Each structure stands twice: as C-alpha cells, then as structure tokens.
Amino acid sequence: MKKIEKILKTVFAIILATSTLTSCGTSAPNESYSRETTSSTFTSKITLTSDVTTTSDTSTTSISTTTSETTTNTTTAKSTSKRSKTSKSTTTSKSTIISIDEGKDKDNANAGKSTFKDTTAMKIVKDMKIGWNLGNTLDSVHWETGNNLPTKPSAFETAWNNPVTTKKMIDTVKAGGFNTLRVPVTWFQHLGAAPDYKINKAWLDRVQEVVDYGIDNDMYVILNLHHENWHFPSKQNLPSAKAKLQKVWGQIAERFKNYDEHLIFEGMNEPRMNDTPEEWNGGNAEARDAINQLNAAFVNTIRKSKGNNPKRFLMIPTYAASPWSNVTSSMKIPNNDKRIIVSVHSYEPYHFALDTGGVNKWSKSKKEDTQTIDYVMDSLHKTFVSKGIPVVMGEFGALNKNNLSDRVAWAEYYVRAAKKKDITCIWWDNGSFSGSGENFGILNRKQNKWQYPEIVKALMKGLK
C-alpha cells in the first residue's frame, strides 16, 4: 500500500506541476509522441525530456483529419529533422491523462531551423526513386466564383469528386513503395487582391497538413502551382505574371522555410499559351522566353527568402513541361544554379497512354510501341542529365482502356527506360477509374486500397 501511495503522490505532483506551468504560459517539455484519433477524441502518450521551452503564447492548435468513408482515423506523428514541431500540454480535473494538441506550428513563427543534408541535385533525384501524384485534389478548381466561393478548404479539395486526403492514404502510398509525393495545388481561388495576393490562411494550413503527411512518411514532397492561367507566357503579360508569382511564392517559401531537403518547390505546372493553336505544340519563341524569365523570378524569390530556402532544391518546367528537343533546347537554367531540377511530363506513346480514342494494345516487342519512350529518355539525358542537370518526369501514366495487362507491361518498361537514363518518374493519379475521361487512377482513395496493385508492382519492378 505504501508503494501505491508513493506512486499516487508522484503522479499528483506531476499533474500539479504541469497545471502550474500551463497557467503561467509555459509549455511542457519537448515531447515525442503518438497521437490516436477516434471520433475526435484524443489520447496521447508522451515521453518527457530534459529540455523546456518557454513561450508567452498559451493558445493551442488542434487539427482533426476527416474522411468521408470512415469515422475513425489513426495517425502517428513524430518529431523529425524535416520540420520543427512545438507542443503544449493541458490538464483536466476529471482525468489524470495529459493530452497533447496537434503540435504543428502552423505559421512557422516558432519553428527552429532543421538540418539540411549536404547533397547534390543529382543524388536527390536518384533518392526520390519513384513517385505518386495526389492529382485532382488540392489542384481542383471550384465551380463557384467571387463571393459564392466556399470558405472551407475541404469544399475545394473534394470539388472534383475525390475524398478529403488523409494520412492513411499517404501511408498506403508509402507502403506501396513510392518514395516521392507530388502535391499539385491551385492557388488563384485562395488569393487576396493585388498587390499583396495574400494567401488564405486556412488554405495554406491545409496544404501544409497534406505536405506533412508525406514528410512524416520520410518521403520527398513536391509542392507546386497548378492550373494557374494568370501566368500566360507572353511579353505583354510578363510584368503582372512575374509580380504575382513572386508574391505567391514568397508566402509559400516563408511558411515552409524550415523544412529540409525532402521538400522541393516546383515553380509552375505546364506553363503554356492556353487556348491558342500553339498551346500543345511547343509555343513560340516569345512564350519560351517568358517562361525562362518566370522560372528565373521563381528561383530568385526562393533564394532570397529565409531558412533553408537559399539551398532548397527547386524544379522548373520547360514550356508546357514538354520533353521535346524543340522546347528543351531553348530552356535556360537561372544563374547556373546547381540545385535546379528540370520538370517535364510525357505520356508516350500518345495514342496508347493519353488518347482516349486511341489504341489499347502495347507490346515491348514492337519497336513502334517503344521507340517514342526511348527517344524521350535519350533526348532528356543528352540535353540535361549528361551535363549534370537532373530531370524528373513529374507526370506520366497510361489511362485505363480495360487493358490491364498492356498497362502493366508498359509501366514496367517506361520506368526501366527512365531509370537507365537516371530520370525519376511520378505517376499521375487523378483518382478516376471509369467513364469516358482520362482514367489514370491506381489508388482507390475512398477504400484506401490499390485498385490496380499489378501496376504498382510493375512500377517497382521497373526500378530493379
């Protein structure tokens, strides 16, 4: 009994001390912990260390992850060198359990600088191995406009019929063998007026939360601007596009300044002459020059920002992210920056991989089926990789035409051809599986399971 009394006294002493610290505006010691979420009830296990952080801010931030297909969500969060976390403790007279809030410093104001690995762009791209796109999600454009736009981030995230993204989904992607997560994001519906173009805080918070799903899985995460027609590449539009791009990326850079090399910024997605005859045909000299200038504005904005951004690895696109030599030959690397990665997209051969009305058969034994893939990889290697400039195939895939075996064979061949030329590929998954559109989905997000595990297996086999 005495032992029990001793233990109880010790427990009550800890609770009292913690309560006093909290009421004085002093946070609990740094903790590494696991968070379990069940129907919005939080239970946390903590391990105390000897470090104590003081702050005058007694407010806490609590983030819950929701999903349309389940009411129970379990997430594991851990402190890593990739980003900094702060956590505060609270007590209650009804329980002896110490509960921990989310612990994510949303505005980055109190985050300490994390360790940034001393490596090269070529080594980073090699370590990225293979990736998966969270397509048609944070890049969705809502059908409402102006004052009718919704206020909740989830309304945008689900506008194109994909469910709210959860940590469990990204856990599944990581478990499938993918080491890179590309997070396409559309920003224009979340910006304030010129000249500041202030990003809506709730939206930026949600973007950060999804980014962290990948970071907490030890994945590389690519964050970009997607579906932004305001940066139309023309001489006339260049001044306003450049000013807006600098303001938007300046805010993103500030929010993520303390993330390490696992976070990569991608300046634009497929910048092109929208709704013109030249849109998908390489553009013209004026458009390609404008994109070079926009890429330079992006790189200079990040390099002038704080934290780890002066040395962050950055991806910049060619015109329309085209891999063809008539476009790549005119691309310029800003300031001869050695931490630049070229971003291209290629769905080849077109009539099999992207054309909804094209063919559904493909064979590695037929030269006409493989030669375009081989040409693209050879050309990119000659233009960039052989000169020490790494390349990421930011989007690729073969849409579903009820031809699983052909897609499996194609996926393995494509990734293997890219790997031979030191190019990392990222599958475009838009969450679509049926209908007459572009059905590139391989992960059934509503059920959180692979719809086509055979394709996933083929992608991984292509890496060997």
Residue 96 sits in the same domain as residue 126 = no
- pLDDT above 50 (res 96): no
Domain assignment of residue 112, yes or no: no
Max intra-chain CA distance, the chain? 86
Residue type at 377? Answer: M
Residue 159 sits in the same domain as residue 255 = yes
Domain assignment of residue 106, yes or no: no
Query: What amino acid positions are annotated as catalytic residues?
Result: 270, 395
62-74: per-residue pLDDT in tens? 333 333 333 333 3
Residue 359 sits in the same domain as residue 396 = yes
Strands (E), 93-133: 95-100, 130-133
Q: What is the CATH number of the domain that holds 246?
A: 3.20.20.80
Residue 153 sits in the same domain as residue 299 = yes
Res 181: pLDDT: 99
Residue 214 sits in the same domain as residue 250 = yes
18-56: per-residue pLDDT in tens? 333 333 333 332 222 222 222 332 223 223 233 333 333
Tally Cβ neighbours within 10 Å of residue 217. Answer: 19
Domain count for the chain, please give it: 2
For residues 237-262, average pLDDT? 98
Helix (H) or strand (E) holding 345: strand 340-345
Residue 160 sits in the same domain as residue 251 = yes
Domain assignment of residue 90, yes or no: yes
245-255: per-residue pLDDT in tens? 999 999 999 99
Alpha-carbon distance 316 to 294, whole Å?
A: 9
Residue 247 sits in the same domain as residue 388 = yes
Are 291 and 318 in contact by the 8 Å Cβ rule? The answer is yes
Residue type at 243? Answer: A
Provide the domain limits for residue 9. 2-100
Domain termination residue (choose one: 51, 67, 100): 100
- Top mean pLDDT of 46-55, 104-113, 213-222 is at 213-222
Domain assignment of residue 108, yes or no: no
Residue 126 sits in the same domain as residue 22 = no
Residue 254 sits in the same domain as residue 127 = yes
As given in the structure block, the two tokens for residue 242 are: 């450049």
Structure letter (DSSP) for residue 276: S
Residue 87 sits in the same domain as residue 133 = no
Tally Cβ neighbours within 10 Å of residue 238. Answer: 19
**How many CA atoms lie within 13 Å of 112's alpha carbon, on the beta-carbon side?**
9
Residue 387 sits in the same domain as residue 438 = yes
Res 452: pLDDT: 98
- pLDDT above 80 (res 16): no
- pLDDT above 90 (res 267): yes
Res 42: pLDDT: 29
Alpha-carbon distance 276 to 375, whole Å?
A: 27
